[in-house]
Amino acid sequence: MTNFTTDINSRTGVMTIRMRGFFQPTKFTEFLEESLKSVQSKKPKIVVLDARFIESGWMSSNPWIVSWFLPKLDLLKVKNFGIIIEDECDPFTRFSVINLENLLENEPSIALKIFETPEEATVWQRNASKVA
């Protein structure tokens, strides 16, 4: 079973994209594209993908993320994008994140931050929302 939700924290203005389950690459990108509607209407400055419970990698979607999704976030004035993973996350998810980090090394338009715990992400969100 797959699950996809977005929500925004009214206090911090941080939007969280939550995905759970196994996603084919087309469904993964479709959900990210759908999340842009929430970004457009809610106007967060920070977006976090909670990838802890994704049971598949998305490495084949990374070029699309870099060339299409992240530039759209930038156009919508999102300045920070974070991904939450954990030590015990799916290995393909971890490889996908490592690959995405490598692809973004020379892309200064949006800051990408990787977190090993939701608590780390929460601290970063608080600090980044003060600046954003």
SS3 45: coil
pLDDT computed for residue 127 by the predictor: 80
Within the chain, what is the greatest distance between any pair of CA atoms?
38
Is 105 within a domain?
A: yes
Is 104 within a domain?
A: yes
pLDDT computed for residue 17 by the predictor: 96
Domain that holds residue 64: 3-24+44-131
Q: What is the DSSP letter of 12?
A: T
Q: Nearest 5 degrees, angle CA 36-CA 23-CA 39?
A: 10
CATH of the domain at 108: 3.30.750
Contact in structure between 8 and 18 (CB atoms under 8 Å):
no
How many C-beta atoms lie closer than 10 Å to residue 102's C-beta?
10
pLDDT computed for residue 78 by the predictor: 92
pLDDT computed for residue 132 by the predictor: 54
pLDDT computed for residue 96 by the predictor: 93
pLDDT computed for residue 1 by the predictor: 66
Is 32 within a domain?
A: no
Tell me the residue ranges of DSSP E strands in 30-97: 46-54, 80-84
* Torsion of the alpha carbons at 2, 6, 41 and 81, rounded to the nearest 10: -110
Report pTM: 0.90
* Helix, strand, coil percentages, rounded to 5, for the chain: 45, 25, 30
pLDDT computed for residue 131 by the predictor: 64
How many domains, in total, are found in the chain? 1
pLDDT computed for residue 31 by the predictor: 94
Is 62 within a domain?
A: yes
pLDDT tens-place values along the chain, 132 residues long: 678 999 998 888 899 999 999 988 899 999 999 999 999 999 998 999 999 999 988 999 999 999 999 999 999 999 889 999 988 888 999 999 999 988 888 776 677 899 999 889 888 888 877 765
- CB-facing half-sphere around the CA of 19: CA atoms within 13 A: 27
Q: What is the DSSP letter of 9?
A: -
